Structure formats: C-alpha cells, structure tokens
Amino acid sequence: MALIELEQISKHYQMGSQLVKAVHNVSLTIHHNEYIAFIGASGSGKSTMMNILGCLDSPTNGHYRLNDQNVATLDESALADIRNREIGFIFQSFNLLPRATALQNVMQPLIYLGIPFNERKNLAIEALANVQLEDRSDHLPNELSGGQRQRVAIARALVTKPSILLADEPTGNLDSQTSVEIMRLFDQLHKDGQTIIMVTHEDDIASHSNRQIKMKDGNILRDSSAI
Amino acid sequence: MLFSLAESFRSALLAIKAHGFRSFLTTLGIIIGVASVIAVVSVVQGLSYSINAEFENLGTNTLTIRADTPFKEALKGKIARITLDDYQTISDNVTGIDSMTPTYQGFGRVREIKFGSQMEVSNVLGTTASYRQVNSLYIDQGRFITLDDDKKSRRVVVIGPSLIEKLNLPSQPLGQFIQIAGEWFKIVGVTVSKGELFGIDQDNIVIMPFSTIQSLIGRQTKPQITIQLSLSKNADTHQVVSTIRRLLRSNHNLSHEQIDDFKIQTPEQLKSSFTSIIDGITMVLGGIVSISLLVGGIGIMNIMLVSVTERTREIGICKAIGAKRHHILMQFLIEAVVLSLLGGLIGIALGFGLGVLASMVIPNFPPAAVPLWAILIAFGFSAGVGVVFGIIPAAKAANLKPIDALRYE
Ligand SMILES: Nc1ncnc2c1ncn2[C@@H]1O[C@H](COP(=O)(O)OP(=O)(O)OP(=O)(O)O)[C@@H](O)[C@H]1O
Ligand SMILES: [Mg+2]
C-alpha cells in the first residue's frame, strides 16, 4: 500500500491579472521508507509541494491520499492531528520556539498529543539523545549553533514517531561540515525505517537519497524512479 | 485538556515575563482602575462602618421630632417650629411613651462660654435628665442634670471633656463656675468622650436644665426645640408615630393639602438615609471606575493584538507541529486573563494602601476597610476584562492558517 498518493495536484495563485501555477497537475506515489529528494531551480514549486505534502497548505485542485485517507476532505482539527502524528516537518530556518529551551521545544508536539508531563519529558530526552544533544537540553535556541538547532528541530519532528519526515532545504543555512553531519543523521534514520522527503539545491545532498524528483515550473520534469 | 490548560498558563506567564515592562504598562490601566475603586470603596466603607457604629449608640426605640419647613413655606419666609406646646400635647395625649426629652439648642450669645480670660464657642443644650439615656451619654465625673435641677431652674451645667482643655479648666473641674451669656453656672458633671464624627468634635458641649436655659433666653419666647422620646417596650411604633403626627398637624393648624412641617425620625430612617447616600457615592464612583477598566481593557486588547502579530511565526510553528485552534485560543486568552488578573491584584494592593493612607492623612477620618465583596468584584472584573478584550486577539491568532503564519515576516 502506498503511503502517499497525489493525483493531479495543483496549487495556483491569482496575482492580480496573472495566474501563478506554483504546482500544476502533479501526480505522484510515495511508499514507506522511501528516501526522496526534490530538486530543481528556484521557483519551480518544491516548497509548495512540501507544504501540501505536510498538510500546511491545501491544494487548489486534485486528490491527496495519505495512509489511505483523503486529506482534502478533512477539517482543520483533523489536519492538525495529521501534522501532529503523521508528519515531522523540518525547515531551512529551523523554526524553533525562541523562548523555549531545546527540551521544551521537543516536548511541545507531545502537549498537543495529550501526553502527561513526565512521559513527555522522558520521550523528549530520548529524542534529544537520538540526535546527540542530551547535554544541551536546557539551552535556548539562541544559545545553540545552527547545526545543533537543526538537530533539535529533527528531534522535535521525530518525537511523535511520524510516518513521514519532511525537510525543506534542511542544510540550506548550514556550512558544509555541519551539513554532512545532518545528512549522516538522515541516512541513519532512513536505515532505521524512516520515510524521508527533502528539498535541496545541492547535488551532493541529493545524492544521499534513493529517488530524485526534479521539478520545473510546477511540474515534475524527471523522476529517477520512473526511469 | 487539564494539563494543556496548565501548559497554557505556564507559557502565558513566560510570555508576560519575557516582556516584563511592556506587560506592566499594559496592565497599568487595570491597575489604576482597580486601585481607584478599591481606594474609594475602602474609604467610603470605613466611613460607613463608623456611622453605623454611631447609630448603634442611639436606642432602636427612640423617635426624634424636629421642625422641617416645607420648601413652599420657606419661600414665603415662614419657619416651622416645634415648641413646648407640642411637647405638652404629646406628653398629655400619647400612650406608649417611656420618657420624653425636649432639647433646646442655644444660639448667639447663649453659645459663648467664659472661664477666666478664656472664651470659647460651644454647643449649649437645654434639656432634661432623660437626655442621657436617650443619647447614650455617660458621665465621667460628677453627675448628670436631674429632675430636681430642672424643677428649681438650677444654674448647673454638665460639660463635654474637650471644654476642660479649651477653657483651661482644672482637670477636676467639678465645682468651678463658668460664664454663659453673662450668667454664672456651676459645673456638676463631665461626660465621657464621644470622639468625633465627620470631623466635628462631639465633646465640645454644655448641657444645662431645660428650665434654666428657658430663663436664660426669657420666659416669654417660645423656643424652637427638638423632642426625643423613647417608647415603652410594648408600644407600636407606627401607632405612636401616626398619633403624634395627627396631634402635631392639628396643633399647627395644617389643612389637608398642606404637608407636614415637622419630621418624626426613627434611628433606622436616619441610618438608612445615610446608607443610601453612601451607596450613591459608591455607585457613582463605581461607574467612573468602570470606564477606566474599559480603557484598561482596550489597552490589553491592543497589546494582545500586537503580541499576536509579533508571534505570528510562533503560532505557525505550533500549528505546524500539531496545535489545534483551541490550543492557540486558550494560550492567548489565558495570557490576557493572567495579565489583567495581575493588574487586578496589584490594583487591589495599591488601592488598599491608598485608602489606608488617605484615611490616615485626613484628620479625624475613620480607618479604611475593604469588604470582601469589593475584592471579589475587582477580581471578577479584571478577569472579565481579560476574557472580553482577549477574545478578539486570541481568535485572530487561532484562525491563522498554518502556512500563512509560517510565511509571516
Ligand atoms: N503565497 C504565494 N503567493 C503567490 N505566489 C506564490 C506564493 N508562494 C509561492 N508562490 C510562487 O510559486 C512559485 C513556486 O514557489 P516555491 O516557493 O514553491 O518555489 P521553490 O521551488 O521552493 O523555490 P526555492 O528553491 O527558491 O525555495 C514561485 O513562482 C512563487 O513566486
Ligand atoms: Mg523553497
């Protein structure tokens, strides 16, 4: 059974008289434990795709089935549940809560899951340990390096054990040495069974994946698995 | 839900702490509003306690009859009077009266008291022995005036304690002679101090027998008097009042369409008219203060809207990791309520402090007192202000679409 099925998905923006087709008629199937990289020129619609996949944004047209559930018909509350349980999102700019410590950041998704404090804390400590940051748990985001922040974000994304890890240019704000560390972490997660979908500009980052999907002008130009 | 509430509370406190000074400024409206209501209420309530205590001293079964010129008559230059004839009529015809006291209040020269080279203006009363019981007056030295004093028009007086100092009398003034309106009077008693009411010294008083003061002002004048009477145990107050009213109306030749030119007051009435004045003051001030709470609420709404805008990205992040509408709504609502409750708390403390200070600074003012209801109302109001003015910003935050919130720069 497919994890994700996209059928003729479009995202259009009406900008004055101009219709921007950020994503246009994309159909795509993604299975469990795939390791995918979206590549392509700037403005080709990669981030738009990720936001739709992550249920942060809704498509203007088309069908999106996640775990055999039609996402288009879900209300805001059910979508919040999906973002909480099924999806871990990692951003280029980390997007940590600035006033919360590393530990509190990782605990945050568990609040929405309704897990009691002590259990929340244990799960968060475990998730931080998985990214080798247990000794930084009391630090605020601005007391951490970029690579450390991204690892906190990864711990937060994974703490609810989601079925998909989505990462939009996860190494975009990091130097090459740190990028290598993050990618090593991704490779390990994939080996442990995690489904990973990422966006990148860099070929050597993309080469970590098993399947590369190249986008152009809102369409899929080339899908390495389809060849 | 319960721990998510505790969670919201924690993050609300964090957010408030993060902008400590701004939070303080935000709550200033609430602080000032609540502080002024509490200060005013504490002062007014302190006043009302002391008035109530004052009325407790008057027996509950006493009536006071005094002249009360109707407005229409006053315009014609007439002055209503209660005279000794009225006194006689009542004492001859009304049953159920235990004791009755006429009181004449001296004026002009009859207020001037001399001792040696000292001169003092005092409240000079001519009355009878039962005045003491009716007015709960107690004797510190010597005795009160007696029936016999009255019968023989003795030149004796009982003085209030503050006159001892004012006239430079010896501290044991019994047997000393003082001069009133050029005549000599012997001091036979000193009353126990009654303190002050509304800043008026109640101990600057000279009491002499009624017949004595009559002889002092001349027998031929019909003095304007006040009549106090205490009812016997089984007397029906309404019955007595209506009988007196009928008698006085006929004495004063009042026709049907004319209204009473006198007032028969019970202590309850006096007390309730004071209470209604105080309640009125409290209401008016309460109204003014609720305007300042409104202003405070708008301040809170304003800053919460700013706070929502500032934290749009944070809201986006929370939504991206699974926060639902109610999580965000509760967080901002609780923040607004906590903010205004903090303001309320500071306001109550500040207001009480101000009230205590005011009642200490104003001479002869009773101590301030804050009733529990005022504190509860202040708390309720601040919480209400938080909810009412927090709901719009909170809803605005909760309704943000995750992608729009995340994209917000
Ligand atoms: N909110 C929006 N309103 C209007 N147009 C938008 C909006 N978001 C994206 N677009 C347009 O959609 C197109 C695709 O944008 P998208 O962010 O998906 O590109 P991208 O492939 O992620 O680019 P980059 O590599 O620079 O991040 C762009 O032309 C962009 O201008
Ligand atoms: Mg992008």
CB distance A217 to ligand 1 below 6 Å: no
Of B296 and A79, more confident: A79
Among A9-13, A69-73, B218-222, the range scoring the smallest mean pLDDT is B218-222
Residue of chain A whose alpha carbon sits nearest to that of B13: A99
A96 pLDDT exceeds 90?
A: yes
DSSP annotation of A7 reads E
Q: Is A84 on the interface with B (CB under 8 A)?
A: yes
The pLDDT of residue B111: 86
CB distance A112 to ligand 1 below 6 Å: no
| Structural domain containing residue A183 | 33-58+75-226
The count of structural domains within chain B is 1
Is residue A183, in this structure, part of any structural domain at all?
yes
List Cβ neighbours of B329 (8 Å cut-off, separation of 6 or more): B394, B395, B397, B398
B321/A84 CB distance under 8 A? yes
Residues of B in contact with A91 (CB under 8 A): 406
User: Which of A54, A112, A116 lies at the smallest CB-CB distance from B323?
Assistant: A112
Residue type at B98 in one-letter notation:
D
The pLDDT of residue A227: 47
Kindly state the tokens that stand for B391: 């709901």
Q: CA A111, CA A119: separation in Å to the nearest integer?
A: 11
Q: How far is B319 from chain A (nearest CA, A)?
A: 7
For residue A211, name the pLDDT band (cuts at 50, 70, 90): very high
Is residue B391, in this structure, part of any structural domain at all?
yes
Q: Is A75 on the interface with B (CB under 8 A)?
A: no
Return the bridge partners of B327, or none: none
Is residue A19, in this structure, part of any structural domain at all?
no
The count of structural domains within chain A is 1
Q: By alpha-carbon position, which residue is closest to atom 24 of ligand 1?
A: A42
Is residue A69, in this structure, part of any structural domain at all?
no
Is residue B161, in this structure, part of any structural domain at all?
no
> If contacts are CB pairs under 8 Å, which of residues 296-335 in chain B contact chain A?
313-314, 316-325, 327
Is residue B290, in this structure, part of any structural domain at all?
yes
Residue of chain B whose alpha carbon sits nearest to that of A159: B321
- Inter-residue contact B300 to B339 (CB < 8 Å): yes
Q: What is the CATH number of the domain that holds A168?
A: 3.40.50.300
Q: From the CA of B403, how far away is ligand 1's center (Å)?
A: 12
Q: Is A13 on the interface with B (CB under 8 A)?
A: no
Residue of chain A whose alpha carbon sits nearest to that of B7: A111
| Structural domain containing residue B356 | 2-55+272-407
Residues of B in contact with A109 (CB under 8 A): 321-322
Is residue A20, in this structure, part of any structural domain at all?
no
Query: For chains A and B, what is the number of CB pairs under 8 angstroms?
Result: 66
Is residue A64, in this structure, part of any structural domain at all?
no
Is residue B241, in this structure, part of any structural domain at all?
no
Q: How far is A168 from chain B (nearest CA, A)?
A: 13
ipTM: 0.93
Q: From the CA of A214, how far away is ligand 2's center (Å)?
A: 13
Is residue A219, in this structure, part of any structural domain at all?
yes
The pLDDT of residue A226: 56
Determine how many CB atoms are found less than 10 A away from the CB of residue B80: 18
Is residue A140, in this structure, part of any structural domain at all?
yes
Q: CA B164, CA B203: separation in Å to the nearest integer?
A: 10
pTM assigned to the model: 0.69
Residues of B in contact with A117 (CB under 8 A): 3
Is residue B233, in this structure, part of any structural domain at all?
no
List Cβ neighbours of A138 (8 Å cut-off, separation of 6 or more): A101, A102, A103
Q: CA B315, CA B11: separation in Å to the nearest integer?
A: 13
A79 pLDDT exceeds 90?
A: yes
Q: Is A129 on the interface with B (CB under 8 A)?
A: no
pLDDT tens digits, A110-147: 999 989 889 999 999 999 999 999 899 999 999 999 99
Interface residue of B17, B312, B321, B409 to substitute, partner A, most A CBs within 10 Å: B321
The pLDDT of residue B1: 46
pLDDT tens digits, B339-362: 888 888 999 899 888 888 888 877
Q: Tokens 């998510």 correspond to what residue? A: B4
User: Considering every ligand atom, which ligand is closest to the CA of B407?
Assistant: 1
Residue ranges in chain B whose pLDDT is less than 70:
1-4, 54-60, 197-199, 219-220, 363-364
Q: What mean pLDDT value characterizes chain A?
A: 93
- Inter-residue contact B338 to B16 (CB < 8 Å): yes
The pLDDT of residue B355: 84
From the list B183, B179, B204, B209, the residue with the least C-alpha distance to B122 is B204
Q: By alpha-carbon position, which residue is closest to atom 16 of ligand 1?
A: A45
Residues of A in contact with B14 (CB under 8 A): 99
